[in-house]
Amino acid sequence: MDELSAVTDLLYGPGTAIPGLSLTDEEAMAMVRQRFPYTEYCLVRDWQWLELEVTPAERDQLSKTGRQPVLVYAHTVVYDVSAP
């Protein structure tokens, strides 16, 4: 039960607020299409940035492909370009 409580606290507990942009959904999608015209994207709300614990070897592997050991967990998906 302690693990369940820890996960619940992680996903639904208070965190550090990160300021965002005050855009309408349409403005946000237009900005993404302008800046990244060939990239798929999701428009989300109520999201969290989770930093993952990885070994140095795993960090090196991620770094080789330009990735970081993080996860964006979204409570609300407003729009997903790859959804049918």
Tens of pLDDT, residue by residue over 41-67, are 999 988 888 999 999 999 999 999 999
pLDDT on residue 8: 83
- What DSSP state is assigned to residue 64? H
Distance CA 7, CA 43 (A): 24
- Give the Cβ contact number of residue 43 at 10 Å: 17
Give the 3-state secondary structure of residue 48: strand
- Find the helix or strand (DSSP H, E) in which 83 lies: none
1 pLDDT above the threshold of 70: no
Using a cut of 0.75, tell me whether the model's pTM lies above it: no
The closest of 50, 67, 53 to 11, measured between CA atoms, is 50
